[in-house]
Amino acid sequence: MLVGLALLGAPGCEQDETCEEDVRAQVLDERVTLELGDETLEAELADEPTERERGWRHRRCDREGLLLVPDAPGELPIWGCGLTAPIDLHLLRDAMVVEVVRDLPPCELPCDACPVVGEGRVVDAVLETPAGALMAEPGAPVDGLP
């Protein structure tokens, strides 16, 4: 399964301004508090196939983190179809960051031309964050995983 994301640019959605969410956006209620090394963040939990598939598609507001958890450890390919702002991907295995993909660039439609990240890599989860939000590197321990 290929997990698709789409982030719409968030001009005017700074913390001190009101941000209006796109009606098509998925906003997940279930959240987890994660510690990656010495950094802490609250991430939405996407642990169902439809949640993982929709990801941050059409999300503009409150994008601190999204934790994608497959049904069982395995590949969790990610593509950034429709991204309008770069994101970082933290691939997690055995409660540790095993790979970081920084600044996944925007990719325009059609989606089949978008680069795919994570193929051939077994993970327990993938944490998506806005580009530059976390400085965790491979080898950083991860606490708080479901």
Least confident of 31-40, 54-63, 87-96, 132-141: 54-63
How far apart are alpha carbons 28 and 17 in whole angstroms? Answer: 22
Q: What is the pLDDT of residues 94-141, one digit of tens each?
A: 999 999 999 988 787 787 888 889 899 999 999 999 999 999 999 999
How far apart are alpha carbons 93 and 81 in whole angstroms? Answer: 25
How far apart are alpha carbons 31 and 101 in whole angstroms? Answer: 23
Q: What is the pTM of this model?
A: 0.83
**Domains within the chain, CATH numbers bracketed:** 3-8+25-143 (2.60.120.1140)
Helix (H), strand (E) at residue 52: helix 49-54
| CB 4, CB 46: distance < 8 Å | no
Number of Cβ atoms within 10 Å of the Cβ of 36: 24
